[in-house]
A and B are shown apart, each in its own frame.
Chain A
């Protein structure tokens, strides 16, 4: 996709009243939608749209589909909150899942998930796909803070995160991956993260872990660590640190680095750790460092 076809996130068509595509209800695994890769595979797109009504943020669209059950939580100030609940095991091999999150002008939305997402093999060796599409409009804010994704033995999952920001959008996004449950080799997990601001790419990354990805557990990629994750912070009213910050004294306990992207006012923390808890600690430390700069505190945005 090139810059000319990228939509600016301000004028977003509101996909309302979409017919439910999953026939079996929230707990069914009946085939639905186009191109079922397997008779029991699920094709589902859940949607969240938040907007600002002049006083506060409302969430006029919460569209459940397939394994996604979305729940409104109590707002925190002007910030609306939504939690993604998993209503069945997913993704399984062959599933095609998508989650669209749109925050319109001046909206403030936090999206979390209730539990880790677990990629399982299912009845087929076909790959599953999980596409998260995020659009944040002018002066709008999104916190996308899901629980980690766990890649289990023999699963194959290709996930994408496509983020379109306006020049004045704010984003805090955290994503973590655990490669195999305790003592288990992982399946194959690929992740493509593309972030555009005002239509221009500011971050493009692709990772591939678990066989057949070459040397993914070797000394250049993850080493012995089975948890990895990132924290991305884009904030136009933010005196972003210009220097990198190394986090973690003992590589055996995991380590991370908080770095400014080439694009201004955008930071990313990259972490590897033995366990998800240690990963979370590293990313939390990175977030604290990001906001250590004096100006961010004076503005009292948070």
Chain B
């Protein structure tokens, strides 16, 4: 996906990806990414937690406006353990 992201950014569209595999993202160097330490296949959180899903989306999009250097990876302050236990039910 990072190669798609790099190609898209070169065409002039600002991009951000949500990754759960930080090391792969470091290696592939997309223009911008946010990292969440969630289980594969659960990038936006857990089933039924719409607020967390929206929070992840908005946090990723904030980086589009705020990133100052290409390749920035922002670590988001959420854990899989707390997400699974039902935390993060309010948008933050």
Chains A and B are bound partners:
no
Residues in chain B within 8 A of chain A (CB atoms) = none
